[in-house]
Amino acid sequence: MSETIVIAQGGGPTAVINQTVVGAVLEIRKRYPGARVLGARHGVRGIRDGDYVELTDMAEGELRLIGNTPSAALGSTRDKPDAAYCEKVLKGLQRAGADAFIYIGGNDTSGTQQILTEASGGRIVFVHAPKTIDNDLVENDHTPGFMSAAEFVAGAFLSVDLDFRALPGIYVGIVMGRHAGFLTAASAAWRLDRNSGPHLIYVPERAFSVERFIEDVKATLARHQRCIVAVSEGVATADGRSLVETIVGPDRIERDQHGNVKLSGSDLNRAFEQALAERLPGQRARVDALGYIPRGYIGAISATDAREAFEAGAYAVQLVEEGGGSAALQYDGQKTVFRKVPLDAVAGKTRQMPEDFLKAEENDLAEPGLAYLRRLVPNKYKLGKPFV
């Protein structure tokens, strides 16, 4: 065999996305001895520009260390190729003599693979291997990267809740997530008891109201003498505008190159700070964005997540043999199973939390949501119960 297979990573990094690269490389060595394996730097951009890392002969021990390393070791990209860009990528793959291209990423990545499949006329096999901390890919029970990020968020909110038991006040933690609230919901995974925070959880799946928020905080303070809030950066008001847009005003908001409202500045922090200072004056309140740390934190890598990310890479190689597609992680009621789904089944779609994951009236998770978290983010710590 003289196969050449190209691998790349796209979109936001995760703590385990390198496991998928390593799982693919080692599976290629098994299935296609002598095959050439090229890692493209910074996703499709590296293919377009002919910028590759030679992975063919890299020692397995060295690869395994890369697998343990958070974030995308090959580099990533936010480029969403259109037809013209895809044409350049296709030419790049042809120049490299590629027989197959495995692209690890989210729904945009699956979309890119779909365009490339159509453009190539079947001469190259295109596979999408899933990753995203947002956990928002349709056809998947969960996605590689989510469990680790969720473990970080669960531990962070457990810890902050204990902090605020000791020194009471209001804490608002802003968590990544534009359209889906899974990662924010993970803040509830390690609650110690019924008194534990987060006491309020706001996700993009539900309309946000500042009035309602203030009332919720007041009621929580009355009950618990503290209030821990987890909120997705992408929460939106009932008219569908993001909270940032609602508060900052349409003229002053920043947008990225795709026209999406920029959520990552401190505008949202400030909005919460101001609302709390005005409506609950004198209350100790702290607003923090968890920022980028959850998605690649070295100290919260889930062993199950790492293993599944590795297996997703190996399964992607099986899909090369099967002519391409998207590798989906599904759940058979007992364990995670890998299934092939069409690229366009995943491309351009966003999975939100199922309706029954959230309580109808309160800003909190319902039992099916909690059960999902118990399965994916089991608490590994044995702790005592504070005296306050």
Which residues contact a copy of itself (rule: CB under 8 A)? 9, 12-13, 15, 18, 39, 41-42, 53, 62-78, 151-152, 155-156, 158-160, 162-163, 165-167, 171, 264-266, 269-270, 273, 286-293, 295-300, 381-388
Q: Among the options 134, 136, 267, 305, which is catalytic?
A: 134
CB nearer to a copy of itself: pick between 19 and 117: 19
Place of tokens 């203030």: 214
Q: How far is the CB of 75 from a copy of itself (least distance, A)?
A: 4
CB nearer to a copy of itself: pick between 88 and 270: 270
Q: How far is the CB of 285 from a copy of itself (least distance, A)?
A: 9
Alpha carbons within 13 A on the beta-carbon side of 16: 31
Q: Give yes or no for a contact between 136 and 108, defined as CB atoms under 8 angstroms apart.
A: no
Q: Which of 58, 27, 53, 57 is nearest to 42 (CA)?
A: 53
* Dihedral angle sign, alpha carbons of residues 189, 194, 198, 202: positive
Q: How far is the CB of 349 from a copy of itself (least distance, A)?
A: 23
57 annotated active-site: no
Q: How far is the CB of 336 from a copy of itself (least distance, A)?
A: 23
CB nearer to a copy of itself: pick between 348 and 386: 386
Q: Give yes or no for a contact between 310 and 20, defined as CB atoms under 8 angstroms apart.
A: yes
CA dihedral defined by 222, 223, 227, 231, rounded to 10 degrees? Answer: -110
CB nearer to a copy of itself: pick between 66 and 119: 66
Q: How far is the CB of 157 from a copy of itself (least distance, A)?
A: 9
d(C-alpha 385, C-alpha 194), whole Å: 12
d(C-alpha 185, C-alpha 354), whole Å: 12
CB nearer to a copy of itself: pick between 296 and 324: 296
29-46 residues labelled b (16+ CB within 10 A) or e (exposed): bebbeebbbbbbbbbbbb
Which residues are annotated as catalytic? 134
